[in-house]
Amino acid sequence: MAIEKKKGLKKAALSDLITYLGVTAVFVIMSLLQSRGMLSRSLSGQLVPICCYVVMAVSLNLTVGVLGELSLGHAGFMSVGAFSGIIAAMCLQGHIASNPVLLLVAMVVGAFFAAIVGLLVGLPVLRLRGDYLAIVTLAFGEIIKDLINCLLVGYDSRGLHFAFNFNGKQNVDSLNLAEDGIAIIKGAQGAAGTTKLATFTAGFILVILALVVVLNLMRSRSGRAIMALRDNRIAAESVGINVTKYKLMAFVTSAALAGAAGALFGLNYSSLQATKFNFDTSILVLVFVVLGGLGNMRGSIIAATVLTILPEALREFADYRMLVYAIVLILVMLATNSPRLKAMLNRAFSPIKRLFAGKGAEKEAAQ
């Protein structure tokens, strides 16, 4: 038994190591290609968003795959992180000279505020179950989007100024900024004139950080408690696992990572509107998670990367690309989940499998 357990642990550690090495290898290759100018413009412009979506997928996989609760409002946390990160970066621009430090501070601020919102949302939401939980996270995502859409923020020598444009009549002037003031977020127009701080290296570091946090959480005592809650809540509760504590732990961690990804995303564009983080974005990330496999972080990374590049790669289909994307999505889901199609695929691939199996058997025999 003990040996088996050790083997299991080793296997998990090995699998994590492969994930880290794979991500690092892709990063190194991409950076090399980029520095030699061998990447197309559209692809090199997508490197940072890909990192952001990978972190989003990994963090959502913590909620959906590991905790087992369907969240349809993940983009809301990304939005909170993006705009708080932008505010932090714009305010501290004059005080911190080094861009990487500024980006780091912005990401920490983004993660912090997203975590707070995650806590506020999680406390009531996690008491619900199943589809009801899903619809309430959707509702929170929409509320966050609408609130940020009304938000007016400015900064001058006297500090930060906030206003809410609830009735549609207020604008930047209602902030009463001093002469040297800058308007950071202008309601529905969103943030404009943001300094682009995000770099591919920062994105890579964030991806690795997210992986370290999530993978270590999964292998820890708390992670096992969270997975026990997913597999059988009643049994877990009866052996003394604190439901609220562990659910919140997973949910808030997930929100904080989404916030950091949002801050990076926000600082990658010179202008950004709150409507970017709508229901469709939440769904997009959920698609990455489900296609990659629930609870499988490596799958999330691959799915997020491939599906972010896919619409660009399908550019030659021009108008048909989103249609092709939809068809690919449906076919993949059918092929991986329908028992009949699965059996058909198995039969189609069985000669190839047998070939490989045969080779393996020969090798064993030779040894």
Partner 1 sequence: MKFLSDLISGISLGSVYAIIALGYTMVYGIAKMLNFAHGDVIMIGGYVSYCAMFYLGFPVWAAVLLAMLVCTVLGIVIEGLAYKPLRSAPSLAVLITAIGVSYFLQNSALLIWKADTKVYPSIVDGSLKLGQLTIPYVTLLTVAACVVIMIGLSIFTSKSKMGKAMRACSEDKGAAQLMGINVNRTISATFAIGSALAAIAGVLLCSSYYTLNPTTGSMPGIKAFTAAVFGGIGSIPGAFLGGILLGVIESIAKAYVPNLANAVVFAVLIVVLLVKPSGLLGKVVREKV
Q: Which of 17, 33, 120, 326 binds partner 1 (CB under 8 A)?
A: 326
Contact 45, 113 (CB under 8 A): no
119 touches partner 1 (CB under 8 A): no
Which residue number, 76 or 81, has a Cβ lying nearer to partner 1? Answer: 76
As a whole number of angstroms, the distance between CA 111 and CA 260 comes to 5
Q: Does 329 bind partner 1 (CB under 8 A)?
A: yes
Strand partners, 161: 154
Q: Does 162 bind partner 1 (CB under 8 A)?
A: no
Interacting residue with partner 1 among 39, 43, 104, 150 (CB under 8 A)? 150
Q: Is 234 in the site for partner 1 (CB under 8 A)?
A: yes
In the complex, least distance from residue 322 CB atom to partner 1, rounded to whole angstroms: 4
Minimum Å gap between C-beta 282 and partner 1 is 11
Is residue 338 part of the contact set for partner 1 (CB under 8 A)?
A: yes
User: CB of 233: closest distance to partner 1 in angstroms?
Assistant: 10
Tokens of 306: 């491939």
Under the criterion CB under 8 A, does residue 93 sit at the interface with partner 1? no
- With binding defined as CB under 8 A, does residue 120 bind partner 1? no
Q: What is the largest CA-CA distance in the chain?
A: 83
320 binds partner 1, rule: CB under 8 A: yes
User: Which of 51, 54, 57, 64: binder of partner 1 (CB under 8 A)?
Assistant: 64
Cα–Cα distance for residue pair 177/239, rounded to 1 Å: 57
Scan residues 266-285 and list those touching partner 1 (CB under 8 A): 279, 283
Map tokens 């009735």 to a residue. Answer: 167
Choice from 165, 171, 201, 296 touching partner 1 (CB under 8 A): 165
**How many residues bind partner 1, per CB under 8 A?**
50
Tokens for 67, please give them: 């905790």
Q: What DSSP character marks residue 82?
A: H
| 167 touches partner 1 by CB under 8 A | yes
Give the nearest distance from C-beta 180 to partner 1 in angstroms: 29
Shortest reach from residue 161's CB to partner 1, in Å: 19
> In which region does residue 173 sit, left (phi positive, over 0), alpha (psi from -120 to 50) or beta (all else)?
alpha
Task: Map tokens 């906030």 to a residue.
Answer: 162
Distance CA 29, CA 131 (A): 42
Verify binding: residue 139, partner 1, rule CB under 8 A: yes
> Where does this chain touch partner 1 (CB under 8 A) — which range of 53-61, 152-160, 165-173, 205-213?
165-173
Segment near partner 1 (CB under 8 A); pick from 29-37, 147-155, 213-221, 244-252: 147-155
- State yes or no: residue 322 binds partner 1 (CB under 8 A): yes
- Give, in order, the Cα–Cα distances in Å from 97 to each of 101, 197, 199, 268: 8, 12, 16, 18
Distance CA 367, CA 251 (A): 50
CB 64 to partner 1: min, Å: 7
> How far apart are alpha carbons 34 and 253 in whole angstroms?
32
CA angle 111, 114, 115 (to 5 degrees): 80
Which residues 6+ apart lie within 8 Å of 305 measured at CB? 26, 50, 53, 54
Note whether 174 and 152 are within 8 A (CB). yes
List the alpha helices (DSSP H) in 36-162.
41-61, 74-92, 99-125, 130-150
Contact call for residue 286 and partner 1 (CB under 8 A): yes
Question: What are the beta bridge partners of residue 151?
Answer: 164
Going residue by residue from 290 to 319, which x/- string records binding to partner 1, judged by CB under 8 A? xx--x------------------------x
Residues at the site binding partner 1, with contacts judged by CB under 8 A: 64, 70, 124, 127-129, 131-132, 134-136, 138-140, 142-143, 146-147, 149-150, 165-168, 188, 234, 279, 283, 286-287, 290-291, 294, 319-320, 322-323, 325-327, 329-330, 333-334, 336-341
